[in-house]
Amino acid sequence: MRDTAERNDDLLHRVLLTRVVEPGDEAAGRWVREFGAGEVARRLTEGGPVLPGVSGKRWAGMAARAALARPGRDLAVAREAGVRFVCPGDAEWPGQLDDLGDARPLGLWVRGPAGLRLWALRSVAVVGARACTEYGAHMAATLAAGLAEQGWVVVSGGAYGIDGAAHRGALGAGGATVAVLACGVDRPYPRGHTQLIGRIAEQGLVVGELPPGDHPTPTRFVLRNRVIAALTRGTVVVEAAHRSGSLVTARAAQRLGRLTMGVPGPATSALSAGVHELLRGEAVLVTDAADVLELVGDMGQLAPERRGPVLPRDLLEPATRQVLAALPARGTARPDEIARRALTAPDDAIARLYELRALGYVERHGDGWKLTRQAVMSVRDGRAPG
Amino acid sequence: MRDTAERNDDLLHRVLLTRVVEPGDEAAGRWVREFGAGEVARRLTEGGPVLPGVSGKRWAGMAARAALARPGRDLAVAREAGVRFVCPGDAEWPGQLDDLGDARPLGLWVRGPAGLRLWALRSVAVVGARACTEYGAHMAATLAAGLAEQGWVVVSGGAYGIDGAAHRGALGAGGATVAVLACGVDRPYPRGHTQLIGRIAEQGLVVGELPPGDHPTPTRFVLRNRVIAALTRGTVVVEAAHRSGSLVTARAAQRLGRLTMGVPGPATSALSAGVHELLRGEAVLVTDAADVLELVGDMGQLAPERRGPVLPRDLLEPATRQVLAALPARGTARPDEIARRALTAPDDAIARLYELRALGYVERHGDGWKLTRQAVMSVRDGRAPG
């Protein structure tokens, strides 16, 4: 772990850079990898030597944007809105985003009580058309509810149509969901989903690359899709017309070696044509949550050991550790009892319970939660559950 | 070519055997391959030595059935009903049925004006559930019409539901269709399809392994499916529940190295569940006739040279040669003009035109038909169209 001062510096430099470069800018990603975020930020703000592969004109534009950036104020505004900035190297950073190479986000703005890294380990993207059919909305909601009930996290883009149905399906099942936005996470988009995105921020996570207040653009929507693809174990496309944005997510997922899945629909439906196109290629046909879990479950159950030192109990966030301690040694407890004992709100307790479930510490039984056998054993011999 | 007397003997023996053994009996197929149909028939009727691998009791039962068989009368009854018996070795025998090995039919009873061998060369099976949905019936009819319009022959099982819709779609497009029955071809089954099967026999072909008057059984339905699979270049399953008979056809097609295709439907439809199961395996998703033709067309356009000496003009049936001769050297003619010049009925002329089209002799242009460039050239130098 880095020391706090070093981490804070890196964080400020990265926040500054999110005001200067667009998401997915691989040249900027390369600079940061080669010179470090601090050196790139310094050259931009203090007039250091121009970085390789950039024209003088472009450099001047970037320097002008850097001069206007107020990373400290951005962080303060974010903190005010309950938003944190998670960087590569942080305990909450989802390691699988590193698969994006130099297109890896500089950092992610995160709003919500859960831990992004743990949630992402056990997540599936459910995406699709904005102007979906009743059938598509039904399938997205049912799939998402089924995944959530099995302890999986449903990731989507917060948009109208399939995305919204997927988020609502997960929330409705009392489950975990993450919205990855193409704008500042303090600035819900679309406006009609302000309430939904607010609920996701309370019960799940709202995530994005763009700094507070930034607005979405067509390019930003497309580049956002690479984050959804990289974050998750697989992407399910529910409905998509030919040349739809969801197909971009699906193809990004394929390139990253993630599973791509598609829900079939009537051959006569233009909104299933894009999905059928995928299904003629590498994508696998799925019709319910069990189909999805059969596929993503095959990819090796959790195996967080390989992901780094996140598992041991003493590396859990204190509040999460408190929720874990609030579970009875035997039998189940209801979330409200657990919340009371952990001195937190029920919503917060539920989010942390799902996080603990993703780690293998707890299981859900109907409305109750209990420690897993492995968790009970790990208390005895001080190990993380295996 | 065998001489006529030899052919007639073999034919009578095979007809007798169709009264003794069930379709797909591989032991019987092996005997015929090893000893010849004549020797097997002789041993059964004249009390020759028992054939290998059969119990005395079973042999006695077969001999009893053989004693009751009247192959000459069967052929006469069939001829009366406009039915011919086509055997391996005959010019009309579809060579691809040999892929069935010892489960190859002893022969096929055929009703209708077209040549089975040529039609089968350019055929696709369209099969599915009897109790299909409106959607399934629509898809089957549209697919079959599209295939027929492109000069392909639609093969199905003559059943209610998808099969019936496929036959009707092909007929409605003025195209070619073959019904493969699980009973005697003089005995339409199901009874409610008497008229449809009658139309198929006039405009297309009605085909089956079972001798005149024989009735269908559940086993015979299942075994009929292997004939549909073997006869065609590929099988499209339109709607099928889990454990449906159409899945048997599809799997038989896969085992025979034929293409298996499936039309997707709503994930919520039990009648698409079997198709989705196939699509998760080897089957390819198709949504229209163009998709199907992209796949079966890839298997090498026709290439009848490899199939044997069927192509040369002097091996065409005389009546087909007459229809070919009725086409103008330049430009198109309508089927009724062609029929008049060929001294035949329009339905018969249309069936033969499709046969000639499968061979590359003629092309359809809207309502008219014309000689292909290759056919015109072949007249000049006496070759078959290449």
User: To the nearest 10°, the Cα dihedral for B53, B58, B62, B65?
Assistant: -170
Nearest to B180 by CA among B23, B2, B42: B23
Q: Using an 8 Å Cβ cutoff, are A99 and A256 in contact? A: yes
Give the per-residue pLDDT at B308: 29
pLDDT computed for residue B381 by the predictor: 44
Please give the model's pTM, rounded to 2 decimal places: 0.75
pLDDT at A311 over 50: no
B54 token code pair: 């059969």
Name the residue of chain B whose CA is nearest to A263's CA. B267
Inter-chain touch A279–B285, beta carbons under 8 Å = yes
Which chain A residue's Cα is nearest to B287? A267
Distance CA B142, CA A64 (A): 61
**Secondary structure (3-state) at A128:** coil
Q: Nearest C-alpha of chain B: how many angstroms from A279?
A: 7
Q: Residue B256, SS3? A: coil
Cβ <8 Å between A264 and B287: no
> How many Cα atoms sit within 13 Å of B205 on the Cβ side?
31
Nearest to B279 among A268, A273, A279 (CB): A279
* C-alpha to C-alpha distance for A21 and B311, rounded to whole angstroms: 68
DSSP A341-357: HHTS-HHHHHHHHHHHH
pLDDT of residue A374: 67
| Cβ distance of B284 and A287 shorter than 8 Å | no
Amino acid of residue A303 = A
Chain A positions touching chain B (beta carbons under 8 Å): 135, 138-139, 263-268, 272-273, 276, 279-280, 284-288, 291
Can you say how many angstroms the Cα of residue A319 is from the centroid of all Cα atoms in its chain?
Answer: 20
So what's the pLDDT on residue A306? 30
Q: Which residue has the tokens 């993450």?
A: A178
Per-residue pLDDT at B2: 59
- Among the listed residues A138, A136, A189, the one whose alpha carbon sits nearest the alpha carbon of residue A159: A189
**Under an 8 A CB cutoff, do A285 and B273 touch?**
no
Give chain B's residues under pLDDT 50. Answer: 1, 299-311, 380-386
Q: How far is A280 from chain B (nearest CA, A)?
A: 6
> 3-class DSSP state for residue B341?
helix
Q: Tell me which of A44-48, A96-100, B173-177, B277-281 is least confident.
A: A44-48
Judged by CB atoms closer than 8 Å, whether chains meet at B276 and A285 is answered as yes
Q: How far is CA A267 from the centre of its chain?
A: 33
Residue A343's pLDDT band, with cuts at 50, 70 and 90, is confident
Q: List the single residue in B with minimal CA-CA distance to A289.
A: B267
Residue B80, burial from CB neighbour count under 10 angstroms (0-12, 13-18, 19+): exposed
- pLDDT for residue A354: 81
How many residues would you count in chain A?
386
CA–CA distance from A144 to each of A157, A273, B331 (Å)?
A: 13, 22, 61
Q: What is chain A's mean pLDDT, rounded? A: 88
Closest residue to B287, CB basis, from A139, A276, A286: A276
Alpha-carbon distance of A110 to B178, in angstroms, equals 63
Chain B contact set for A268 (CB, 8 A): 135, 138-139
Find where tokens 């599209």 sit. B146
Listed residue (B262, B272, B369) closest to B326, CA to CA: B369
Quick: pLDDT tens for A179-199. 999 999 998 899 999 999 999
- Structure tokens given for A334: 């209801």
User: What integer pLDDT is reported at residue B329 of this predicted model?
Assistant: 82
Pairing mode of beta strands A176-181, A284-285: unpaired
Cβ–Cβ of B285/A268 closer than 8 Å? no
Query: Within a 10 A sphere around the Cβ of B79, how many other Cβ atoms?
Result: 12
Decide: helix, strand or coil at residue A364: strand
Burial B124-142 (b: 16+ CB within 10 A, else e): bbbbbbbebbebbbbbbbb
Give CA–CA dist B196/A224, Å, rounded: 56
Which of B135, B267, B284 has its CB closest to that of A264?
B267
Give pLDDT, residue A308.
29
Nearest chain B residue to A278, by CA:
B285
Interchain proximity A135–B268, CB inside 8 Å: yes
**Residue A12 contacts residue A71 (beta carbons within 8 Å):** yes
Q: Rounded to whole angstroms, how far apart are CA atoms B145 and B127? A: 14
Distance from CA of A155 to the nearest CA of B (A): 21
Measure in Å the smallest separation between the Cα of A206 and chain B Cα atoms: 30
In angstroms, the separation between the Cα of residue A17 and the nearest Cα of chain B is: 45
Residue B104 tokens read as 């190859």
Strands (E), chain B: 83-86, 108-111, 123-127, 153-156, 177-181, 205-208, 234-237, 259-262, 284-285, 362-365, 368-371
Query: Residue B83: which of B228, B186, B215 has the closest Cα?
Result: B186
Nearest chain A Cα to B279, which residue?
A285
Please state, as a whole number, how many other Cβ atoms lie within 10 Å of the Cβ of residue B54.
15
Residue B34 pLDDT: 94
Are the Cβ atoms of B266 and A268 closer than 8 angstroms?
Answer: no
Contact B216, B182 (CB under 8 A): yes
Amino acid at B135: Y
**Confidence band of A270 (pLDDT split at 50, 70, 90):** very high
Query: For the complex shown, is ipTM > 0.95?
Result: no
State the nearest Cα–Cα gap between B192 and chain A, in angstroms. Answer: 29
Contacts of A298 in chain B (CB under 8 A): none
DSSP class per residue in A90-125? STTS-GGGGGGGGGS-S-EEEESSS-HHHHHHTEEE
Residue with the larger pLDDT of the pair A299 and B330: B330
Q: Please give the pLDDT value at position A2.
A: 59
Confidence of residue A301 (pLDDT cuts 50, 70, 90): very low
Residue in B259, B279, B285 to test binding to A, most A beta-carbons within 10 Å: B285
**CB of B317 closer than 8 Å to CB of B117:** no
d(CA A168, CA B320): 65
